A and B are shown apart, each in its own frame.
Chain A
Amino acid sequence: MASKVIQALYTDDDVLMHAVKKVRADHHHIEEVYTPFPVHGLDKAMGLEDTRIAITSFMYGCLGLAVAIVMMNYIMIDDWPQDIGGKPSFSYLENMPAFVPIMFELTVFFAAHLMVITFYLRSRMWPFKKAENPDVRTTDDHFLMEVGIHDNEDELTALLWETGAVELKVTEKES
């Protein structure tokens, strides 16, 4: 990671998309892009890998299903198989329809909540976290692209002006 970065501000997501494509075509490394809202196709233009969060969610769902089955089997069948209103507590399968609502809900519960927690962990979000925002305008109506500088400041500046940037700023990257 470059210690010095150049921050280019844009006012339009279309211009930003073209700029991202051009910068990548010129083989410069884009460190980060800050936008006020999701820009459709930006991840593809930046060449980011697909998210795997859906796969984690599927596995969490399987875990939730297993938890429900083991729990209901232990409580209702193994531990104390009472006759409750004539329901057949002889085996799990015989009484399964009664457990399906719980199996379903726990599957969804695990899949949803653990996936959200995974998302928070992976994107480093938590309460009292210091906001990583190079320019406050990027949460309102500006788009910011951050490109690392490797002894090519002049060339990069010219390129970024050319892509329609409204403002350029060279800063030391924190940490």
Chain B
Amino acid sequence: MYTFSNRLKIGSFIAMAVGLIFLAIGFISAPSTVEEAKAIVAAAHDDGHGGGHGEVNAHEGGNEGHGASTAHGEEAAHDASHDEHLLHQLQNRPWSALYVAAFFFFMISLGVLAFYAIQRAAQAGWSPLLFRVMEGITAYLVPGGIIVFVILVLSVLHMNHMFVWMDADVVAHDKLLQGKAGYLNPTFFLVRAAIFLGGWIFYREYSRKLSLAQDESDDNTNFVKNFRWSAAFLVFYLITESMMSWDWIMSVDPHWFSTLFGWYVFASMFVSGITVIAMISIYLKSKGYLENVNDSHIHDLAKFMFAISIFWTYLWFSQFMLIWYANIPEEVTYYIARFQDYKLPFFGMLAMNFIFPLLVLMNSDYKRVNWFVIMAGIIVLLGHYLDVFNMIMPATVGDQWHIGIPEIGGILFFGGLFVFWVFNTLTKAPLQPKRNPFLEESRQFHY
């Protein structure tokens, strides 16, 4: 049995507390009126080039002349709508920081659940020793899923402006959104989210129950049942995951659409999930809890990290290159926004998620070096956080993005919660299954 080390527990509590404070600071410092929003932007600009008030005005009005006091009526109206837009972006920032971090950690446990179901459905001989680790990580599906759902409910209740199609005023003036209203309407949106989460959580809980029952039983009926449920879950998962990515992520840009988006999000969550399995396994092994897990298991996980990183890049590039090549205005705005305002995170993510794992994890020997895998894993996880950041932020905060207090607060809070929940679940059952039919093969696994 695993005992939750006190240092890790206290560390996770501290991370949660600091994260909560940072998030609260983010929410408090978000502007509530247009004037405050303008002041915030003006202050940011003053820091930059010490310009006077006139310069800021000129910048905001989009005029070329300094100190634009000759605004026409038309421009004044434009100014007002621009200011309101700016206010919404700044108000969205703490919400988006919360949502990105909440979704990122939720997607890790969902990715692990998919990996777990695949291992069961494929009857993999190497991985049964790691099933308990995976079950521990997927336990976060319940709190993480509920938090994401609550954020979606709050969005529907107009607490923020992350999803513009939820605003009835906007839809009234937007033919495109009216056309999509049959799918993108708040009630159906929440019903779908509840079905997705319900299905995933049900499979996770039931599979865990069967997995624990298999330890105590004297035949393999639980194992066979688990195999069948896992295969069925994978069918359900592929459909719901794709729809989830349209609902929860693509719909922040409701004018834009992409057909392989679901796969792209899947690749991101899959590789982050596998990375976390590898990192937690290495951690537990270093503490002496997984004595039968050897370097070959780590090697296999690292191979998955390497291969799925490349798979992610393949999907990223396929989506990007098709849109870049055809350059159809209604599609290409998505990338123009990212190229103009998100250069560093957008291309930095590519280096972290592709070039780094490609070069570091290519060598077969390095995949067996545990600290190497941990180091690569940290970079991959940061890269996929940036990936989610790049998917959500351009639509919600636009060019007003920063990786500052609210964003770090979100990572700390959900990271702490994730660590606490996962390791707390790991203490609930023995880390090595007792009578899985493939257990002996997994124990002797050697590559």
Contact = CB atoms under 8 A, between A and B. Distances in A.
A97 B362 CA distance: 24
B181 interface: no
A127 interface: no
A54 B364 CA distance: 10
Nearest to B365: A50
B320 A58 contact: no
Interface in A110-168: none
A38 interface: no
Chief secondary structure at chain A's binding surface: helix
A86 B327 contact: yes
B325 A58 contact: no
B327 A97 contact: no
Contacts of B324: 97
Contacts of A86: 327
Nearest to A54: B364
B317 interface: yes
B366 to A, nearest CB: 12
A100 B327 contact: no
A98 B321 CA distance: 7
Contacts of B364: 54
A86 B332 CA distance: 15
A132 to B, nearest CB: 30
Contacts of B362: 58
Interface in B312-326: 317, 320-321, 324-325
B149 to A, nearest CB: 38
Contacts of A58: 362
A130 to B, nearest CB: 35
Contacts of A97: 317, 320-321, 324-325
A98 B317 CA distance: 11
Nearest to A87: B325
Give the interface size class of chain A: under 10
A97 B327 CA distance: 12
Contacts of A54: 364
A98 B325 CA distance: 7
A58 B364 CA distance: 13
Nearest to A55: B363
A97 B364 CA distance: 30
Contacts of B317: 97, 100
A165 to B, nearest CB: 29
User: Which of A54, A58, A97, A100 gathers most chain B CB within 10 Å?
Assistant: A97
Nearest to B314: A104
Contacts of B321: 97-98, 100
Contacts of B327: 86
A58 B362 CA distance: 10
A86 B325 CA distance: 10
A8 to B, nearest CB: 29
Interface in A50-91: 54, 58, 86
Contacts of A98: 321, 325
Nearest to B320: A97
B279 to A, nearest CB: 26
Nearest to B327: A86
A86 B362 CA distance: 38
Nearest to A101: B321
B163 to A, nearest CB: 30
Interface in B358-378: 362, 364
Interface string B320-342: 11001101000000000000000
A123 to B, nearest CB: 21
Interface of B: 317, 320-321, 324-325, 327, 362, 364
8 contacts: A54-B364, A58-B362, A97-B317, A97-B321, A97-B325, A98-B325, A100-B317, A100-B321
Given A98-B325, A100-B321, 10 more contacts: A54-B364, A58-B362, A86-B327, A97-B317, A97-B320, A97-B321, A97-B324, A97-B325, A98-B321, A100-B317
Top 4 A-B residue pairs of the complex, sorted by shortest distance between their CB atoms = A97-B321, A97-B324, A98-B325, A100-B317
